[in-house]
A and B are shown apart, each in its own frame.
Chain A
Amino acid sequence: MAALNSIAQSARSEVDDPSSLLLKLGPEQPLRMDSGAEINRLQIAYQTYGALNPAKSNAILICHALTGDQHVANVNPVTGKLGWWETMIGPGKPIDTDRFFIICSNVIGACMGSTGPASTNPAHGRPYALDLPVVTIRDMVRAQAMLVDHLGVDRLLSVIGGSMGGMQVLQWAASYPDRVFSAMPIATGARHSAQNIAFHEVGRQAVMADPDWRRGRYLDAGVRPAKGLAVARMAAHITYLSESALHRKFGRNLQDREAPTFSFDADFQVESYLRHQGVSFVERFDANSYLYLTRAMDYFDLAADYGGLLSAAFKGATARFCVVSFTSDWLFPTSDSRAIVHALNAAAASVSFVEIESDKGHDAFLLDEPELFATTRGFLNAAATARGVA
């Protein structure tokens, strides 16, 4: 196998020894998981921005999506790129670090410093691989609650996230209704649809079909299922865009050539783009983490935990909600958000719902969408005023 490049090397070292704040929990505070298993030595990597006020009333938790991480508003130590929500979070920005205390932690099951399948299993000093219990969205949120406890915050001013992050937001509101003053689930759903599970299964099969996956034990062998994971990422990436966005960006344009080559080379720009997405993803992301996190999303069905009635999940919710969807998002279409809104109405919760016109597909929540910024700013200002945060 070719030597790991510097990005891949740094990604590997972030797993156990991240350039982030760390919370380590021992056997006296085990994480009890939905599967019935427990993690007795848990590590949570997180970043904070801004300062917690004396009343501890200005803390906002940001929940990241499937392939995101805790580096939401600082240069990413692995890729060297700006934080994934730098447009949203910072001084004077919609989620204002001059005013609020922002917390973002790496979800468990991921690979940027929180316990995941690539982490070293203290039992034998080798990576967990598939020995890590299957993680659910609720398990991620339980771990986050332990972190929030550790930071001395009783009630979060807001919990905000898109996609898988939005699932965590909904889970927070359901599991800890008294600890959430406001909640902003963006481009998400209260359950993963059959179509979404199907796409994830294609990705997982691509990873597991790669001979270098080695039943999950590839790190022990010093190899990685790079081809499989790249294909998984390519397929998934299509679902994050929209047909019109792809057309606008690439059309049928050819890549650095005048005519088709009559081969299976990347003739089209869109092919070249997807290959690049696949290859660069593989450098920074652990293949087993991809299996665990896609699984967590697939298992998510909030209503199922409440007798099949989504409104029952929000029965005790005191939070004010702001639900956001995007017109061209076909992965988590507006109908998914509307189902959440209907359930919140039925639970008599305070809810705003904005469907933002955009042709950028699911990824719109990460991009420059002025209407999303204005909505977030207005919603947070109102929540801060209601809670008496200066």
Chain B
Amino acid sequence: MTVVIQNTAGNGARIDLLLIAAMVEPNTRVLDVGCGEGLLLEMLRDEKNCDARGIELSRDGVSRGVARGLAIIQGDADTDLADYPDDSFDYVILSQTIQATRNPRKVLEHMLRVGRRAIVSFPNFGHWRIRSHLMFKGGMPVTDNLPDAWYDTPNIHFCTIRDFVALCDEIGAVMERSVALNAGGKAALRAPWWFWNLFGEQAVFVLRRKG
């Protein structure tokens, strides 16, 4: 089965954001960690009637988001998630941010504590193009998805899909859904892990606590 995700809105929204938005039930409470200026928050608020809130590190992103009427806090995923009580959200979302956190494991644990579900998307460092870049060019990969040189990038904790799955196992997170996307935005076939890990450019996981 192949799921094709199309950007029907035609607004240039990032494909993983559309996918995440589709995974969120209407009328729920959502925290988007690393929300930028709030593109996903706005989608969730306007189209799904969610109580959508965000945390964003960049002052600029926060200002622009709050000026558009969104509830965004200038803060840091690594330190600020600890302040939220257990189960205060239905979903805690971390899109394209986990690789930029100082302590991805702690962040993920807090997400699973604060939210009933965690949705995580990240660039897969196991993708064949990245592997071949490293193998044949011998330098840190620079791609359309990951355009920064190693000394400029905020991404300090890259991982592969396989690595991420291992982390989920280690902290006792249950994977409810997992989707890999290739460059065309197509979700990969139902295929074994090694296939995803090689051909998925991005991955999106829906997680919950065990038990």
Contact = CB atoms under 8 A, between A and B. Distances in A.
Interface in A115-150: none
Contacts, number: 63
Given A341-B75, A346-B83, A348-B84, A382 B70 contact: yes
Interface in B36-95: 51, 53, 59, 62-63, 66-75, 80, 83-85, 88
A87 interface: no
Given A379-B69, A381-B69, A355 B88 contact: no
Chain B interface main SS type: mixed
A371 B71 CA distance: 16
A378 interface: yes
Interface in A72-116: none
Contacts of A322: 66
Interface in A342-390: 342, 345-346, 348, 350-357, 371, 374-375, 377-379, 381-382, 385
B59 A357 contact: yes
A68 B85 CA distance: 38
A357 B74 CA distance: 12
Chain A interface main SS type: helix
B170 to A, nearest CB: 27
Interface residues of B, number: 20
Given A345-B83, A346-B84, A378 B66 contact: yes
A350 B72 CA distance: 9
A356 B69 CA distance: 16
Interface string B84-128: 110010000000000000000000000000000000000000000
Given A341-B75, A346-B83, A354 B69 contact: no
Nearest to A357: B59
A385 B88 contact: no
Contact of A345 (B63, B69, B84): B84
A270 to B, nearest CB: 30
A350 B69 contact: no
Interface in A4-38: none
Interface of A: 320, 322, 338, 341-342, 345-346, 348, 350-357, 371, 374-375, 377-379, 381-382, 385
24 contacts: A338-B75, A342-B80, A345-B83, A345-B84, A346-B85, A348-B84, A348-B85, A350-B53, A351-B71, A351-B73, A352-B70, A352-B73, A353-B62, A353-B72, A353-B73, A354-B59, A355-B59, A355-B62, A356-B59, A357-B59, A374-B63, A374-B67, A375-B63, A378-B66
